[in-house]
Amino acid sequence: MAKVTLIFAVLLAVLGLVGFFGTGSAHPTALIPTWIGLALGVFGFLAISPNEGRRKLFMHVNVTIGLLGFLGAVGEIVRSQLHSKAEGMEPDAIALTAKSALAALLLLYVILCVRSFIEARRTGKV
């Protein structure tokens, strides 16, 4: 699962960079997926270890980052929708797409991690 984490880290980093440069480099918050990807990448790299305890620790750190990132992205989607409605404007399509992609990637990552954890417990690879 650590290698899958590194793939998601790269995807998130690319999403953040595309969002940042896609907005004309005017919105540094578009780099949030890149920072989440960097955190997943660092802990994903640390999870590539022959030591089972170390691997489990860093994968649990990663799934926590993924879950918190997902909840934050969904919260931000809701907040921006409510703010746009209150202002009588349409939400920024690029930002909404980026936030939705971030939420979708992180949800998929969390689901894959949980399935992996359940499978490891079931097969005795705890």
Neighbours of 42 (CB within 10 A): 15
Distances (CA, A) of 70 to 49, 73, 100: 26, 5, 10
pLDDT in tens, the chain (126 residues): 889 999 999 999 999 999 888 877 777 888 999 999 999 999 999 999 899 899 999 999 999 999 999 999 999 999 999 998 898 888 888 888 999 999 999 999 999 999 999 998 898 765
C-alpha–C-alpha distance, residues 102 and 104, integer Å: 6
How many domains, the chain? Answer: 1
Count the neighbouring beta carbons within 10 Å of the beta carbon of residue 62.
27
The angle subtended at Cα 30 by Cα 29 and Cα 35, nearest 5°, is 80
pTM above 0.85, yes or no: yes
Structure letter (DSSP) for residue 28? G
Give the range of the structural domain holding residue 81, as residue numbers without chain letter.
2-123
